[in-house]
Structure 1
Amino acid sequence: MRDLIDHLTSGRVCYLTSRGAMISGDSLELLAQLPADSVDLFVTSPPFPLLRQKAYGNEDQQRYVAWLTEFAKLAKDALKPTGSLVIDIGGAYQRGLPVRSLHQYRALLAFVDDVGYRLAEEFYWYNPSKLPSPIEWVNKRKIRAKDAVNTVWWLSKTDQPKANVGNVRVPYSESMKRLLADPARYYTPKDRPSEHSIGEAFGRDNGGALPSNLLSIPNSQSNDAYLRTCKALGLPGHPARFPLKLPSFFIEMCTEPGDLVVDFFGGSNTTGRAAENLDRRWLTFELDAAYAAQSAVRFMQGQDPERTLKAVEQMTKGETLAIDGPA
């Protein structure tokens, strides 16, 4: 891992863990320095092209696709033939109109048609806890429904990326649990009207059901450990975070322990935390040095607050912190 980190000369290492590193720097430069065929999985959520400028930086809708495609090109060069790029892109409205922007779909077409990715599968992240937005069209005029779904494109470098959905099974429904408890009572093997043959294996307990491509994951983290720690330390915390379960799902599905996971829009480093939890090596890139340093609190929870705050201040000024030993 140290040899790989040493390749990234244009960035600055903020902190190291036993499995990865947060690097502050320009992601375009850092992606260009990754060795070819070295990354098993990119998981990222870029700043969305919102109409209001955000503190964490977001691109204008007019140039968003061209801007994002530059990152996708460099990521493809660094991917292994069995590797994947998973990118979460939220929707937006056009300025002043109750009409949707097509940026996430234009980005997908550019990735496939211009860069050469394959679309392995489209996923949709449903956030049931998302607040009604945009206010003008939903709350005030009540002419549009709440926007609660993000598109998540699972893209691959070749036709056969590494994947095993058996690793991400979900809990059985109550009806399926009853069937498994007494298969003979609830189920008889037969052909369905659709001509699909449902055999006896249907009643076998596999430890959970196979997932669909609709991921229902609440993002109600207003008081999670990361934000509580930031608040206790007087730090603002990153304002745009996806839930830990989202990158965890794709890390478990598309990689194995020891594989390399990279997030090039790191933010509060949810991806790095997820990869660390799942015994994957990881690299996270973040342009904003303050956000990069503050993300270390994900790996320092439960430590002395004064010591943690001092460490964050030192990283912001350019020092490197080792957490739980060298990477």
Structure 2
Amino acid sequence: MKIAYKTDNGIFYKGKIEKVLTSKKFDKYKGKINLIFFSPPFPLNRKKKYGNLQGEEYIDWLSSLSILFREFLAENGSIVIEVGNSWESGVPVMSTLALKSLLAFLEKGEYHLCQQFVWNNPAKLPSPAQWVNVERNRVKDSFTYFWWMSKTPFPKADNRNVLTEYSKSMKSLLKSQKYNSGSRPSEHNIGEKSFLTNNKGAIPSNVITAANTQSNTSYQKYCIEKNIIPHPARMPEALPEFFIKFLTDENDLVLDPFGGSNTTGAVSERLNRKWISVEPNIEYIKGSIGRFEKLSKYDFEISNI
């Protein structure tokens, strides 16, 4: 566990999360982390450059982390984990390994499952390629799940922090102060004044649509300039931004145990949250510097780690 770099609000550790969480130096964070947000390596049937485990080994590994995370999570804090889809090898059949991993994580950590979210990525490449592009007997797999869980059924959360712009029809309704009230075929009874209050935005759904197709970001420019290979599985900023706004307040502490290119840290910095990221790959850490103007501006270099 070594410090790669610091910013005004955060710190990036180089190391594997298992060792970092069991380090005496990390004890100071016990019970103080308000949000643990992460996308672990998915349980794939073939290995990728950024590493992943398989089968029961993956389930055991992920569930063991859930116990460690519980020690560091604040009593009203939240965990949000991305769980991607995986497929059986050689056949067009989805694997249940991702679901088994999630259930093991919940049970071992004794967490409450608060809500399920869907990340719809309209720009995702067709996969699994063999069945979608070649055999043409499946459709494109374009989403992953984010699972929100906590120690308590009532963690810190406020959907007023993630309101979306009203639709044109809603804006028109608020202006006219008129609509058809009464009962609906769904058996809901709409009151005469139920929709007349301007709440400064609409409550979002649990489906988040965000594409990761940006090609001219400060991160990518920095990687090109420094001849660094970008992280192969970067997350759009819209995802951590939504959950950080929804589940934390300013100056709260956010942990990303699989920091990668440090999207979570950069968003936390911008939203005035404290943050900790952990990543063992030095090339990913070096590239992440491009997300922080103060560090990249002064030609910051990582050394002695």
TM tier relative to shorter chain: over 0.9
Q: Specify the alignment match of 1:108 in structure 2.
A: 102
Which ranges in structure 1 are unaligned for 5 or more consecutive residues? 1-10, 319-327
**Partner secondary structure for residue 65 of structure 2:** helix
8 Å contact from structure 1 (residues 225, 301) kept in 2: no
CA–CA separation in structure 2 for the residues paired with 1:301 and 1:129: 31
- Which structure 2 residues correspond to residues 240-259 of structure 1 after superposition, within 5 A? 240-259=233-252
Q: Specify the alignment match of 1:120 in structure 2.
A: 114
Q: Specify the alignment match of 1:6 in structure 2.
A: none
1:206 and 2:199 matched: yes
Q: CA deviation at 1:287?
A: 1.3
Count of residues in correspondence between the two structures: 300
* Residues 172 and 240 of structure 1, relative CA distance in 2, 3 Å threshold: same
CA RMSD of aligned residues (A): 1.8
User: TM-score, normalised to structure 2's length?
Assistant: 0.93
CA–CA separation in structure 2 for the residues paired with 1:257 and 1:115: 27
CA–CA separation in structure 2 for the residues paired with 1:248 and 1:43: 11
Which ranges in structure 2 are unaligned for 5 or more consecutive residues? none
> Aligned to 2:184, which of 165, 189, 192?
192
**Partner secondary structure for residue 202 of structure 1:** coil
**Partner secondary structure for residue 5 of structure 2:** strand
Q: CA deviation at 1:76?
A: 1.2
Q: What are the superposed Cα offsets for residues 151-203 of structure 1, whole Å, 9 maximum, x if unpaired? A: 1110111111100011101122232222223232xx13323343433231413
Q: Specify the alignment match of 2:21 in structure 1.
A: 31
- Provide the identity percentage: 41
8 Å contact from structure 2 (residues 67, 109) kept in 1: yes
CA–CA separation in structure 2 for the residues paired with 1:222 and 1:137: 28
Q: Specify the alignment match of 2:139 in structure 1.
A: 145
1:41 maps to a residue whose letter is: L
8 Å contact from structure 1 (residues 229, 301) kept in 2: no
Q: CA deviation at 1:303?
A: 5.0
2:5 maps to a residue whose letter is: Y
- Which structure 2 residues correspond to residues 149-168 of structure 1 after superposition, within 5 A? 149-168=143-162
Q: Specify the alignment match of 1:277 in structure 2.
A: 270
CA–CA separation in structure 1 for the residues paired with 2:215 and 2:83: 21
8 Å contact from structure 2 (residues 66, 106) kept in 1: no
1:177 and 2:166 matched: no
8 Å contact from structure 1 (residues 293, 316) kept in 2: no
8 Å contact from structure 1 (residues 290, 316) kept in 2: no
CA–CA separation in structure 2 for the residues paired with 1:302 and 1:262: 20
CA–CA separation in structure 2 for the residues paired with 1:144 and 1:62: 27
Q: Specify the alignment match of 2:84 in structure 1.
A: 90
Q: Specify the alignment match of 1:325 in structure 2.
A: none
**Partner secondary structure for residue 219 of structure 1:** coil
Higher relative contact order (CA 8 A, sep 6+): 1
